[in-house]
Each structure stands twice: as structure tokens, then as C-alpha cells.
Amino acid sequence: MPGSRLGRLFTITTWGESHGPALGVVIEGCPSGLELSEEDIQRDLDRRKPGSRLTSPRKEQDRVQILSGTFEGVTTGTPISLIIHNRDVRSRDYSGISRLYRPGHADRTYEQKYGLRDWRGGGRSSARETAARVAAGAVARKFLQVRGITVKAHTVELGGVRAQTLDWEAIGRNPLCCGDEGAALKMEERLLEVKRREDSVGGIVEVCATGCPPGLGEPVFDKLDARLAGALMSIGAVKGVEIGAGFESARMLGSEHNDPVLSRGYGSNRAGGILGGLSSGMDIVCRVAVKPIPSIGREQQTVTRDGTPAAIRVEGRHDVSAIPRIIPVCEAMVLLVLADFILHPFPWSPPLP
Amino acid sequence: MPGSRLGRLFTITTWGESHGPALGVVIEGCPSGLELSEEDIQRDLDRRKPGSRLTSPRKEQDRVQILSGTFEGVTTGTPISLIIHNRDVRSRDYSGISRLYRPGHADRTYEQKYGLRDWRGGGRSSARETAARVAAGAVARKFLQVRGITVKAHTVELGGVRAQTLDWEAIGRNPLCCGDEGAALKMEERLLEVKRREDSVGGIVEVCATGCPPGLGEPVFDKLDARLAGALMSIGAVKGVEIGAGFESARMLGSEHNDPVLSRGYGSNRAGGILGGLSSGMDIVCRVAVKPIPSIGREQQTVTRDGTPAAIRVEGRHDVSAIPRIIPVCEAMVLLVLADFILHPFPWSPPLP
Amino acid sequence: MPGSRLGRLFTITTWGESHGPALGVVIEGCPSGLELSEEDIQRDLDRRKPGSRLTSPRKEQDRVQILSGTFEGVTTGTPISLIIHNRDVRSRDYSGISRLYRPGHADRTYEQKYGLRDWRGGGRSSARETAARVAAGAVARKFLQVRGITVKAHTVELGGVRAQTLDWEAIGRNPLCCGDEGAALKMEERLLEVKRREDSVGGIVEVCATGCPPGLGEPVFDKLDARLAGALMSIGAVKGVEIGAGFESARMLGSEHNDPVLSRGYGSNRAGGILGGLSSGMDIVCRVAVKPIPSIGREQQTVTRDGTPAAIRVEGRHDVSAIPRIIPVCEAMVLLVLADFILHPFPWSPPLP
Amino acid sequence: MPGSRLGRLFTITTWGESHGPALGVVIEGCPSGLELSEEDIQRDLDRRKPGSRLTSPRKEQDRVQILSGTFEGVTTGTPISLIIHNRDVRSRDYSGISRLYRPGHADRTYEQKYGLRDWRGGGRSSARETAARVAAGAVARKFLQVRGITVKAHTVELGGVRAQTLDWEAIGRNPLCCGDEGAALKMEERLLEVKRREDSVGGIVEVCATGCPPGLGEPVFDKLDARLAGALMSIGAVKGVEIGAGFESARMLGSEHNDPVLSRGYGSNRAGGILGGLSSGMDIVCRVAVKPIPSIGREQQTVTRDGTPAAIRVEGRHDVSAIPRIIPVCEAMVLLVLADFILHPFPWSPPLP
């Protein structure tokens, strides 16, 4: 089954390997009449770029190009094709490990599924694939903006250090996008320490959507939370998703968990802005568990393609944590799900005026 | 957008309200030649039934009937239509609250979406809707059995009490389906205590699938974990989903999290049986956070449909916890996702012999 | 791949065999707030009923029942489940031919696909399956009515006799639903003559939709004409579909075929109301070629299941022509396609007021 | 609803306008392990190229480039992205008519749907969009070849001249791809005569698929003929589709139309290789009615965007007929539908060996 497509009305189809000539995305269903420029998209792509001492020193100069779907700076309603050329491809970084399975990677599962493997950097399982998601998410962001909806993510935990406060202003002021500047400093220290040990760490990212009207989502299998969970879990590094009080709900009483109903809105938001699978009008809040980057310089146990035990060190320019680069990717997934639902007509059937 | 359908090749479409004449499901894509009887389905439905003193005293005598898709006890490959008549419908239980929004319920969000509401028991947001899922899951279970795949769930936490061990035999011996019999006793006590307080509690359920071949799932958006997360989060009471080490991954180092690769299988299973979105051949392990039942006898704060503040007690025969009745529902969702993927041809293209 | 589902936003899933206990359809995506009764649906079902001396003498007393999706006579926006019990099932009519393949039927192709066959009357390939389409189409008709759209079909050719005029009033006055009463009489004669010969005949039906706003349909693969062609060709007896001037276009010059553009509308309608796959605001006009009923009393050449040549006469109560009973089926398919497109928001993106 | 996607398992998503920088297609679901080169695709693209005196003198030097999905000359099972740069774009050819609606074109319907229009050559309604279909079809052809299936189309009627014979060898020897060389000469004469009159003509193309195993297709709405009809009718110039005896069936008796069943195959092929929506193992035969090219030099009646009556002559380099350039497009649509069905597992459920 094809798996590179997301959405029903606002849909995206991504393509491309990390070591091919380019990667990209076709966005279908974006309404016409929306102002859209390459700069609108580049802004989000740049947030995914490596660059600081905390992230990979690779110089991915991702420049996005719009190949179709706009005319005189405005969307026409037809498919928007975006392309990002791969400029910094060095196959030699990977060739040494082409005969070994990297632990924590999809090397062997891809080979088992497809009978062969593009060993140059992971093919479609490479994190580089997420550049196309971010580009598409930026288009969704533009569309949702005109509807008054904004989506923003931040780091709530990294390498065991947890943010204690949430200052939205602070997020933009530290490289880890954490809303607690004190915690951000400790997270940085933790990252540098782990880097020295040639290891990696995980963390937790929270995504918030504000301005959603009530009623987004569909009953039963296409609940808003179900679609968000599926979209966020589709990010390679994500191993858990929770909405509102999430796993904490498991330890609460009904009387603690239920949000009091007020004439406008609710007295708390343990539901995370979703009731019965439909948005409630409160902020939509989800959190994802991000696993440690599997590529580490430390020696690990593996086997060769013919099954012989072997030791492996994954050399090369790897991030210590998927955070903060995963943050715009998380935002993109939420943006894309919301754009899909916002396009759906609310199914009332009054006669036309 | 229609939301009552799940799957691409092994698909189900559910229908029915808790207070209508019946509910049911149409299963399309189930292979032909599979032995299938109403008893096969009834077995799982009975596990969802209320009955013990721990669960709701309502006597839902759900009897499933096969209306199409089999001939002489064997599936024909055509749509299998299952119907369950609603026998124990008492609208008066709910009529008192038809003008109030129940906290933690979808009453107001449904009304905001559809402009009206079937106030008799929640309509499609009622937990009763899950009977159709369980019935469909039982058909998937039959199909997966012939492929050597089994799916089983158990309670790992309830009302703050956590299982310390997992004895698969024990699960069938206690009403809470817990693999730790000592913990099961404490969970029962906790439930009775909460029941006396007219409150409710949440918990955590773990689902395990054994026997899956490697390679199930699709890259990018239809990763096996993404589809499992979406399917499990679509259960009304679920607020979080995690795979393998899950949220614990966020606190681990790469060297701790990566499963060593052995010539056959892996040295551990922190990945939860899924690498790069494809099954690895190890057991697939997921856990869901179950929120407390929102319907409680204790007084809560709400408003009437015209916005006037009011107090509400949700009278009636409600469970104290969605556990254990949610257990076959969780199994059903995993069974349905696996059946969908197992039907998909592995995309190799050798010439036909 | 599941094939019993049609549509994307206004969707239907049909189920049931001609000789099982019932057949039915689940309609998902019908807007809420629409008045709907069983009588609304029964009206169209009755038009599909056999009864006159021109059609099969079987007494199918199809009574439709609404099992879900309405509350107090109004749709709620949730799945509408319709069931029609099979009352007039006589398996003995078919048992004599269970070991022979009926020419013109799907007996052998079903067996080749599924490895087995429900030989009682054709299973899902039975024309009886279309009752579910008609029931669903009646719901679409109610929905389109409030948008000012009506769909009506009539016979333009039968057994070689062609209508020369189109009087919409006349259609209701003759059993063959022909707009030319003189031709209708000749068609009746032709049918009786063919019936005496234990043979069957085909014909041509035209479907017209009036009141469609311009812009329905989607570019490229989901053009309105493409979706209409697919939906109409999915009727078992249909072997051809044409839009507007249709096959006649092949013999025309561009200067003859192009409809002059007027300030409101067009000077002619050779396009059949569709330009570039989008409705133009003119009447939508399509015609289908209906093949002769394959079940005939005359002796034909076939083989048994083990390949031995044999002669077959298909005894039983068969229609001489699929016309006129196919007429509400053709209408249903057009209604369902239009309902699906009308639900789709026109993709303009102005900010909300 | 997005309309630029076709298929369920072997899927394509096309994008691009005739006057943008490029157009292309993303193919998802093509099996891994298939040898594929740009030359394989270019071969079919070249057949769609203008060039002879019978077709448009524009020099479209379409060169296709594979951007993803292959590794060392073999498909990897991941999305195959193909791009064709637009080289011969001259906007001035169209600017004169940007304020007029061209008769027979989608100019006004697009504007009505999207609120704006890319007037440079028709955007997505341009015939140039079909280059992406042909490129994708060439990949499907490679895949079907290894399964022993071939698809070929030819001209059976053009400008009123009808082929009387079918010599498959002859098709490659005349520019109109007609199987009757005598008729081909008359067709050429007819085209030149129409060209002198600055007019255009239509015709009929027949597509044949050989080597299909029995059982392809799905019951009810996804019948093989239904999907073929939808796919072929989605070609802009097509106004009618018929299978096997097609519209001729309407005039036949059942005893004439039914194909005798033999122990292997059938005694005739009036069914066009499809029974009950499933392939029968006989050749699949469909025919499409192609309307005259709407762009003609002769003066026609139209209106300006503000509704003022006006005369229009569509200047520029236009073909006299969509035939023969539409021939590889028709083949591509049939190839894509067959590839989609061939990928689907036949739904038998024996236990694994």
C-alpha cells in the first residue's frame, strides 16, 4: 500500500531519498486565492536546518522551489509541487556500513520488505524525508493563518531535564526551543556531555494549536486525536503520543479529569482541546516522546547482511538529539491534519439561500 | 469527511447509535475460504459484555448475526455484514440530562458540529459503538490465526496500581485481565473504593501481537506504528499511545535504546517490534492510556444548552473504569490494522513462474 | 481491494447477496438536519420493483428499514444504515444450474477470483444488488433536492426501437419510461415478441441532471464525466457510457461540436453540461448502453465446472430487458456522484468574515 | 477533493501546468526489483510528441528525468518521481485570448470553480497534462510486461473514415496508427482537408489488453470495466467509452450477445474480456469517442470575461485531431488501471505453507 500520502482533502504526497538528486512533495487540495511564495516555505525549512553546535554540522542548504500550482504569487487550486535539491550528498560517509545493519535503524526491515536496500543513508527512512513534510506544513500554515489558527511546538524535556515553566517568548530565545530558559541551559549542558560520550538522547516535544473552531474531526475512526496521533507517530523518531493529560489520565479520578463546562469554553483543559474526537474550541495540546538518535559513534553489536556478528560505530555528522530539529516537523504534522479537517464542510444541510 | 471507516484492503464500516434499533459493521476485503461462524464472533463480543460487580450491571445481551458474506460456513470474499440488535434500550435513563452537557462527554462538540444532537446516550460517541469494532476484530482474528498471528491485551495499571510481573496464564484468571494476580487484587479493591465514592478511574492497557512476519507497514505516513497509534487513539477513552519503550525512550541514551541486532532477531525489544515503521519480526508491543469514565454520580459543574450554569450528576448504570471491558476493543484495533497490512502484497516484482 | 464502496464525502457501502437473509447499504457523509423517512426511500425502490407483464413476475416486496442515522425524522450526520430483507428467496430455482456456468454471467470469473462461488443467484453479481444502490440514491435525491438539483432518466432506445421525441410528461405515462409514446408502444410489442422467443434485448437509457451549479467536478482524474462514467459502467448490464454528443462527437467538426459561449450559459449543449471535467451550469446529459439480459430460456452452449461441454437453458422468472427496471438504478448512480461533489467545498480561501 | 491522483495500490499523482517551469508525476506502489531507465519512459513520451505534418508543429522536446525511486537501475519500491521540464513555453501565444472564453474549453468553468484562472494555455485542463500520464503509464507497462500483459491502441475511425480491417503490423507503418492502411490514407486526406478549413475532427480509438489473467477487478463499484471507463473518460477529449460490443449491445438479442462458454475461454468476445466486472482471460477491448480539438482557427462566438459578446479565432499551432497523439494516453490509462488491479492479492485465505 502506498504510504507516502497524507490527508483526504488537503493532501500531500512526498518523494525522494536522502542521496538522490532531489526530494519533494505534491500538495493537492490547497484552496485557490492564497498568497504563497518560496520565502513562506523557506522560513520553516530553515528552522529544520542543522547549524548550531548542538546539531549536526552538515551544511544542508535546502532551497525550496515551487514548480506548479501558483500564478502571479497566488495559489490556483491545482497541485502545488515543491522540490528541494540535495546538494550535500556524500555517499562515502555511508558506504563503509553498507554491509552492516545499523542498530535502531530500518536497514534490515527495509531489506526484508523490498528484497533490496538503498544503503546510501536510509532512503525513505532517513530523517531527511521530513524536509518535505516541513515544506508542505508551511503551506498549510499559510492557509490556516487566514482562518486564525496558529500551531507552535516547544521542548518540554530533553535528556532527562524537564522544563518547569512555559514562557512562549522564551522559546524563540534559546536554540532548544524550550519555554523555560533555566531548563534550556541545563539541556544544553546535557547535550554536550552526551556528545562527548559519542552517545545520543531523547526528549519530549509539546505541540499547541490555538484558534481552532469547535467541531473539527470526525466520529469513530477519524477522530481529531486519532488523526493527530497517527500523523505524529509517523515521524521516525517518535515512540509515543499523548493528548491533553495523556498518560497522566490513567492515574486520575473522573472527578479530577473531567473539565468543568462553562457557558463559553471549559474550566480546565485536561481533554487537550478534543472531546469525542472533535475539537472543543480550547487549545489543542499534544506531546510526543522522541527516542534518542540511533546513529551513535559508540561501538554497538550487530550482524552483517549474511548474519555474521560484527561491531559497528556509526561515523559521520550526526545530531546528538532529534530535538530541536524535529520541532518544525511536529508542527508540520499538526498543521497538515488541521488543514485537512478545516477544509471539510460542516455537514449541515440547509437549503441554499 | 466520513469517519466510520477503517482500513484500505481489510476494511470496516461501522454504524449505529446506542439507542437505535441496532448497530453493526460491514467488513470488506476479508479473503474467501475462511471458516467463520457467529460463535467465532460472539466469543469476543462476550468479553466486552458487562457483568461482574466491577462493571456496569446493564444486561447487554449482544447477539451478533451474520447477514452476508458467508456461504456454507465459509467466507466468500464479499462484504460481511454483521448486526447486533439493541435490546436493553431505556431512553428514560438519559432523558433527564438531555438539556445539560455532561462534562468529559462529546455532547456539546457534537451539537456544535452537527447543529443537533441525539441526546439518547451519546449517539456515535457512545462506548457502545465499540461493540461493532470488537465484532469486526473477531473476524480479523480468525483470518490472522491462519497466518500464525495472535493478539492479546492485558491490564498493566489501574487506578494507580501497577502490575509488577506478567504471567500470561494469570490474565485469564482474574476479571481485570491483569498478568500480576497480586496487583489484580489491589486493583479490585481500588475499584470498589472509587465506586463507593461515585467516582471513576483510568488505567493502562498493553497489547501484544506475536507471530508477525517482518516487513509489515509502509514507509513515511503509513508506518505500522502510525497506523496502530491512530487506530488505538480512535477509541473514545484513550488519551495516549506508546510503542515499545514509548515515553521512557525520552529519558534513554541511544546506547541504551538501540536493540542489538542478532543474526536472527534482536537482543532486546525496546523498539516494540517496529523499526522504520516496518515490523521487525519481534513481538509488537503497544500501550494505551485509558482515561477515567466521564459519567460519574458525583456532582459536577456544567451549563444547560442555553448557557446557564448548572450542577449535574450522571445517574445510571455506569462502569467505574473502562478497564477491563476496553481490553477486547484494544485487541480489535490492533487485529484490524494487522489484517489490513498482511493483505498487502510485498512489493517485489519477479516475473511469474 | 474492496469494491463495494462509492464516493469520498457522500459515501455508500453496499452488502448482501440475492439469496442471503438481507441486503443493505451504509451511507456515510449525508449532512445532518435533512428530513428523511422510509417512505422517501421506498418510493424509488418501488420504481425498481418487477410487476408489469414486461418485467419479471417475481414478487419482490422490498421494504426498506432505516436502522441508524436519523433522530426524530431528521438525519444526524452519522452513518445511515438501510436494510432490505430478502423475502422471495427460492434457492431451488437456481440449484439445477449450480454445476454449469451461465453464458453472459460472472459465474466462472467469480469462481476464478475467489476459489469458490455462491451459486444461488449470482451473489454480488446479481442485479438484486442494485436495490441497495437505489435506496442510497433516494437519500442523495433528498439531499440534492434542497440544493435545487433533480435527476431523471428515460428510455431512448429498446430492442432496436428508438424514441424520436422527448416529452417529459410522457415518461410517467408508459411502463417503459419513454419520452415518445408512439415509440413506447413499439418497444412494448418488441419486448413481447422477444419474450415469446425466450430471448432478451438491450437498449439505451439517458440520464439528465438539472440545476447543477457550475464548477462541480475536479480536474484530471476526478472529472465529473470520469466519475459519472465509472459509476454508470459499474452497473452490471451497462456496456457503454457517453456524455453529451458522445460517440457522435467522433464524426463532428470542431466548429460543429463547440458550444457557442453566451453571456449566460451556452448556445447548445453538445458538451453534455461538462467542460474540462467541471459542470458548466447546463443540464448534465449522459447515456448508457444496456446489454440484453444474459439469462434466457433458449438453449445455449456452455461447460460444466469440470470443463465438459453442456447445453443450458436458464429457467426461472427473468426479465426480457433490464429496461425499465434499470432506470432508477441509473438515476441513483448519477445522484450519488453529484451528492459527493456538491459536498465538496469550492476551494476558495478568503479569510473568514 | 483532490483529483490529480489515480489508483489505490499502483498510484499516480500528477502535477504541473503547461506554462509553468515543469510538470511531473509521483508513482507510488510500483514493486521493487524492476529494471527501469529514463529510456523506458522516453519511448512512450516520444510517441505522444507532435511532429508530423498531421499534428502540431510545436517542438515539444520532452525529456523525462527520474528523481527518485530507483537505485542502480532498479526500482526500490519507494515513490518514483518523474519530471519533464517545459521548454517550449511561449505565453504570448495565449495572451491575446486571456480575456475571452474559448468555446469547447474549460476557461469559464475553471474560473467559476476557483475564482481565478491561469489563462496561459489552460493550466491543468491543457492536453499537455497527459504527458505525465504517459510517463507513468510507461512504468506500468514495464511492470505488466514481466507479468506477460501488453496493451496496445489503434485508430478505428477518424473524421468519419472507418477502418474496415485490423492488421496489427500495419499500425506501426502509418502515422495515424490505423490497422487498415487503405483507411489510413483516406484519414490523412481528410485531416489535410479539414486543416485547410481551419477546423478540426474527432475519431474513435480502440485499446486492447492481452495476457490478463482471469479475476482482475472487484465486484460492484470497482468493476474492471467501471475503472477503465472512469480512467479513459478522464482524458479531456474523450466523450464516450464502450467495452466489447459496447453501444452495439443495445441492439442485440441475448442469444446473440452472450459469448458461448468453452472449456478454455469463450467462443466469442462480445463481453470485451470482462464478465461481472472481472477479467475473463479473453482480450480486454475498449473504445473511446474522441471529440474534435476545440481550438480552431475559424471564427466562433463567445463572450469576454465581463459578458460582452465577441468573436474569437484561436490562433497558434494546434493539432487538427487529438488522434494519433491521444493513442499513448489511452494506452497509459488502461496500463495504470491494470497495474493497480494486478497488484491486489487474490483474496484466498489458505494457511501459509
Q: Do you know the residue count of chain B?
A: 353
* B45 inside domain: yes
* Alpha carbon of D89: minimum distance to chain A alpha carbons (Å): 14
In whole angstroms, what is the distance from residue C303 CA to residue C310 CA? Answer: 5
Signed CA dihedral, A248, A250, A254, A255: sign only = negative
Give the pLDDT confidence score for residue A315 in this predicted structure. 81
- Least CB-CB distance to B249: which of A218, A234, A289? A289
Which of helix, strand or coil describes residue D237?
Answer: coil
* Contact criterion met (CB < 8 Å) for B13 and C76: no
CATH number at residue A114: 3.60.150.10
Give the pLDDT confidence score for residue C350 in this predicted structure. 46
* A216 inside domain: yes
Q: Which chain A residue has the Cα nearest residue B218?
A: A3
Mean pLDDT along residues B191-197: 96
| Listed residue (A301, A326, A296) closest to A314, CA to CA | A296
Number of domains chain B contains: 1
| Set of chain D residues whose Cβ sits within 8 Å of the Cβ of B349 | 30-34, 75, 143, 146
- Least CB-CB distance to A114: which of D1, D77, D123? D77
* pLDDT tens across the length of chain D (353 residues): 789 999 999 999 999 998 899 999 999 999 999 999 999 999 999 998 876 556 665 555 789 999 999 999 999 999 999 999 987 665 555 566 678 999 999 999 999 999 887 777 778 889 999 999 999 999 999 999 999 999 999 999 999 999 999 999 999 999 999 999 999 999 999 999 999 999 999 999 999 999 999 999 999 999 999 999 999 999 999 999 999 999 999 999 999 999 999 999 999 999 999 999 999 999 999 999 999 999 999 999 999 999 999 999 998 778 999 999 999 999 999 999 999 999 986 655 444 33
* Alpha carbon of A13: minimum distance to chain D alpha carbons (Å): 8
* Alpha carbon of A102: minimum distance to chain D alpha carbons (Å): 19
Phi, then psi, of D248 in degrees rounded to 5: -65, -30
User: Could you read off the pLDDT of B75-134 as tens digits, one per residue?
Assistant: 999 999 999 998 766 555 556 667 899 999 999 999 999 988 777 777 888 899 999 999
Q: Is the pLDDT of residue B214 over 50?
A: yes
In whole angstroms, what is the distance from residue D322 CA to residue D158 CA? Answer: 10
* Alpha carbon of B24: minimum distance to chain D alpha carbons (Å): 21
Burial B109-146 (b: 16+ CB within 10 A, else e): bbbbbbbbbbbbbbbbbbbbbbbbbbbbbbbbbbbbee
In whole angstroms, what is the distance from residue A348 CA to residue C220 CA? Answer: 29
Beta-carbon count within 10 A of D67 CB: 24
- Least CB-CB distance to B17: which of C5, C68, C124? C68
Q: Which chain B residue has the Cα nearest residue C123?
A: B78
| Set of chain C residues whose Cβ sits within 8 Å of the Cβ of D272 | 239
* C352 inside domain: no
* B349 inside domain: no
First to last CA, chain C: 43
Q: Which chain D residue has the Cα nearest residue A344?
A: D1
| Set of chain B residues whose Cβ sits within 8 Å of the Cβ of D30 | 347, 349
User: Could you read off the pLDDT of C209-258 as tens digits, one per residue?
Assistant: 999 999 999 999 999 999 999 999 999 999 999 999 999 999 999 999 99
ipTM for the complex? 0.96
Mean pLDDT along residues B318-332: 95
Give the pLDDT confidence score for residue A75 in this predicted structure. 94
How many interface pairs between B and C have CB atoms less than 8 angstroms apart? 145
* D58 inside domain: yes
Place of cell 489508483: D7
| Listed residue (D208, D351, D194) closest to D282, CA to CA | D208
How many interface pairs between A and C have CB atoms less than 8 angstroms apart? 62
In whole angstroms, what is the distance from residue B314 CA to residue B295 CA? Answer: 6
| Listed residue (A30, A316, A288, A111) closest to A200, CA to CA | A316
**Beta bridge partners of residue A64, listed in sequence order:** A84
* Contact criterion met (CB < 8 Å) for C351 and A147: yes
Which of helix, strand or coil describes residue C32?
Answer: strand
Give the pLDDT confidence score for residue D233 in this predicted structure. 98
Place of cell 556478528: A309
* A347 inside domain: no
| Listed residue (B215, B251, B284, B265) closest to A301, CA to CA | B265
* D119 inside domain: yes
What single letter denotes the amino acid at residue B130? T
- Going by the DSSP 8-state scheme, the letter that residue A122 receives in this structure is T
Cβ–Cβ under 8 Å, residues A323 and A163: no
In whole angstroms, what is the distance from residue A335 CA to residue A228 CA? Answer: 10
- Least CB-CB distance to D103: which of C258, C278, C347? C258
Give the pLDDT confidence score for residue A96 in this predicted structure. 66
- Going by the DSSP 8-state scheme, the letter that residue B24 receives in this structure is E
Q: Is the pLDDT of residue B350 over 50?
A: no
| Set of chain B residues whose Cβ sits within 8 Å of the Cβ of D34 | 349
Best C10, C26, C117 member to test B by mutation, with max B CBs in 10 Å, is: C26
Give the pLDDT confidence score for residue C60 in this predicted structure. 54
Cβ–Cβ under 8 Å, residues C199 and C147: no
Burial of B93 (0-12, 13-18, 19+ CB in 10 A): middle
Instruction: Give me the domain span that covers residue A291.
Output: 2-342
Phi, then psi, of C16 in degrees rounded to 5: 115, 145
Query: Which one of A110-119, B58-67, B190-199 scores highest in mean pLDDT?
Result: B190-199
* Alpha carbon of B39: minimum distance to chain A alpha carbons (Å): 26
| Set of chain C residues whose Cβ sits within 8 Å of the Cβ of A34 | 349
Which of helix, strand or coil describes residue C284?
Answer: strand
In whole angstroms, what is the distance from residue D25 CA to residue D37 CA? Answer: 16
* Contact criterion met (CB < 8 Å) for B3 and A277: yes
Give the pLDDT confidence score for residue A2 in this predicted structure. 85
Q: Which chain A residue has the Cα nearest residue C140?
A: A349
Q: How far is CA C133 from the centre of its chain?
A: 7
Q: Which chain A residue has the Cα nearest residue B282?
A: A109
* Alpha carbon of D219: minimum distance to chain B alpha carbons (Å): 8
- Going by the DSSP 8-state scheme, the letter that residue A121 receives in this structure is T
Cβ–Cβ under 8 Å, residues C231 and D226: yes
Which of helix, strand or coil describes residue A177?
Answer: coil
* Alpha carbon of B142: minimum distance to chain A alpha carbons (Å): 22
Q: Within chain A, where are the H helices?
A: 38-48, 92-95, 107-114, 130-145, 168-171, 181-196, 224-233, 254-257, 327-342
Signed CA dihedral, C176, C182, C187, C190: sign only = positive
Rg of chain B in Å (alpha carbons): 21
Q: Do you know the residue count of chain A?
A: 353
To the question of pTM greater than 0.80 for the whole model, the response is: yes
* A353 inside domain: no
**Beta bridge partners of residue D21, listed in sequence order:** none
* pLDDT tens across the length of chain C (353 residues): 789 999 999 999 999 998 899 999 999 999 999 999 999 999 999 998 876 556 655 555 789 999 999 999 999 999 999 999 987 665 555 566 678 999 999 999 999 999 887 777 778 888 999 999 999 999 999 999 999 999 999 999 999 999 999 999 999 999 999 999 999 999 999 999 999 999 999 999 999 999 999 999 999 999 999 999 999 999 999 999 999 999 999 999 999 999 999 999 999 999 999 999 999 999 999 999 999 999 999 999 999 999 999 999 998 778 999 999 999 999 999 999 999 999 886 655 444 33
**pLDDT averaged over 10-residue windows placed end to end, chain A, 353 residues:** 92 94 96 95 91 58 93 94 84 67 94 84 87 98 95 98 97 95 97 96 98 95 98 98 98 98 97 97 98 96 94 87 97 97 70 39
What single letter denotes the amino acid at residue A180? D
Phi, then psi, of A105 in degrees rounded to 5: -105, 170
* Contact criterion met (CB < 8 Å) for B75 and D148: no
